[in-house]
A = this chain, B = another copy of it.
Amino acid sequence: MKGEHADIHLVLGGARSGKSAHAEALARESGLDRIYLATSQAFDAEMEERIRRHRDERAADDWTTVEEPLDLPGALKIHASPGAIVLVDCLTLWVTNLMMAGRDVEADCRSLLRVLEEGPGGPVIFVSNEVGLGIVPDNAMARAFRDHAGRLNQLVASAANEVTFVAAGCPLILKPRG
B-binding residues in A (CB < 8 A): 10, 12-18, 128, 130-139, 142, 145-147, 149-151, 153-154, 156-158, 163, 165, 167-170, 172, 174-175
Contacts and interface: CB of A to CB of B under 8 A. Distances in A.
Nearest to A130: B133
A138 to B, nearest CB: 8
Contacts of A12: 167-168
A165 to B, nearest CB: 6
B147 A16 contact: yes
Contact of A154 (B128, B130, B150, B168): B168
Contact of A10 (B16, B151, B168): B168
27 contacts: A10-B168, A13-B132, A14-B130, A14-B131, A15-B133, A15-B150, A16-B132, A16-B149, A17-B132, A17-B150, A17-B154, A131-B136, A132-B133, A134-B135, A134-B137, A135-B145, A150-B168, A153-B168, A154-B168, A157-B170, A158-B169, A163-B168, A165-B167, A168-B174, A170-B174, A170-B175, A172-B172
A135 B131 contact: yes
